[in-house]
Amino acid sequence: MSWTVRDKTCLITGANTGIGKETALALASRGAKIVMACRDRGRGEAARREISAAGAHRAELLIADLADLEQVRRLADEVLDRYPSLPLVISNAGVVMPQRTTSVDGYEATFAINHLAPFLLINRLRERIEASAPARIVVVASQVEAAGVIAFDDLMTERNYQPLVAYRQSKLANVLFTYELARRLKDTDVTVNCLHPGVIATQLLSDYNGRPRALGMLQRLSHPGPKIGAKTSIRLATDPELSAMSGRYFRPEGEAQSSKASYDEDLAAKLWKKSAELCGLSEAS
Ligand SMILES: NC(=O)c1ccc[n+]([C@@H]2O[C@H](COP(=O)([O-])OP(=O)(O)OC[C@H]3O[C@@H](n4cnc5c(N)ncnc54)[C@H](OP(=O)(O)O)[C@@H]3O)[C@@H](O)[C@H]2O)c1
């Protein structure tokens, strides 16, 4: 049977604004049952009402701060309790941290939010996703992964913190995770792909460029908005022709090559092992 998102439960992190919200709106309008994972109840609820109005199903909101691995574990438990079927997960939430900040667990926040949180969440949901097959996992990465380095000797960027260095490392980690997970899922009917959404006028782009968020107006004149930025996520979530494709990287123009480092299987295995250790997961998962 051809793939459709109609009546399927779709979990999206960071669905209250930017690319995540536009992705949720589009999938809701195609009949998906949207489950939003957001950190702020007020912002989440405002978006939840809009997303519900865009489709036939009432969107649901779960609250979790991805900078706290205990909240990520609770989020996974809540999803497992409430949704017997989970055929679509979109890891979208992301940050650029202008100053070095640590997560609740004491990890550098960019690495914790952008990489460790989806690593833990998806691993905790993995059996349920497999049981819901055919299923898809979509990881919103970035083209800046190409400039990323996984600095095992300073993974938490304790020396000479630079926001973009930390962000690029986390986005390379997203791509390495996607490819390693695809290898681990190769005998299942679950695909996992990642993407660069384009350079899109959102809060994150202001932070990336080191501009005050209040100047967002200026960036909206020079970059497309999140509706355009959501197109690649929507394609990976919905296109029936991608049903057999896994472990691939997409850009707005279509499938593309990611960086040489991202295809390094030893690097991906080493990162998986380290991430499992940092998240308290058994490595074999
Ligand atoms: N914009 C671009 O040019 C661009 C380019 C390449 C890749 N990307 C990727 O696209 C994805 C979406 O970003 P965007 O551009 O749409 O940015 P955005 O508008 O700033 O949205 C980011 C989302 O992540 C959520 N988030 C941040 N920290 C969180 C935390 N600790 N716990 C839970 N949620 C958290 C935000 O929630 P709040 O609203 O509560 O802050 C928001 O919903 C990111 O993964 C980003 O790396 C963006």
94 lines ligand 1 (CB under 6 A): yes
209 lines ligand 1 (CB under 6 A): no
Question: From CA 268, how far away is CA 104, in angstroms rounded?
Answer: 25
Res 285: pLDDT: 54
CA of 64 to the centre of ligand 1 (A): 14
Mutation to probe ligand 1, out of 11, 16, 19, 208 (largest number of atoms < 8 A from CB):
19
Q: Which residues contact 123 (CB under 8 A, 6 or more apart)?
A: 276, 279, 281, 285
CA of 3 to the centre of ligand 1 (A): 27
Residue nearest atom 6 in ligand 1 by C-alpha distance: 142
Q: Reduced to 3 states, what is the DSSP secondary structure of residue 71?
A: helix
Question: From CA 236, how far away is CA 231, in angstroms rounded?
Answer: 9
Per-state percent for the chain, helix, strand, coil, to nearest 5: 50, 15, 40
Task: Give the position, in ligand 1's atom list, of the atom nearest the Cα of 113.
Answer: 31
- Output the DSSP codes for 229-268: HTHHHHHHHH-GGGTT--S-EEETTEEE---TGGG-HHHH
**Catalytic annotation on 249?**
no
Res 206: pLDDT: 87
255, β-bridge pairs: 250
Do the beta carbons of residue 118 and residue 178 sit within 8 Å?
Answer: no
Positive/negative CA dihedral, 267, 11, 143, 190? positive
CA of 15 to the centre of ligand 1 (A): 9
Task: Give the position, in ligand 1's atom list, of the atom nearest the Cα of 114.
Answer: 45
Query: Which CATH number among 3.40.50.720, 3.30.1490.100, 3.30.499.10, 3.40.190.10 corresponds to the domain 9-279?
Result: 3.40.50.720
Question: From CA 42, how far away is CA 30, in angstroms rounded?
Answer: 25
Res 283: pLDDT: 63
Do the beta carbons of residue 27 and residue 83 sit within 8 Å?
Answer: no
Do the beta carbons of residue 251 and residue 232 sit within 8 Å?
Answer: yes
Mean pLDDT, 10 residues at a time, the chain of 285 residues: 93 98 98 98 98 97 98 98 98 97 98 98 98 98 98 96 97 98 97 97 89 71 92 98 97 98 98 98 69
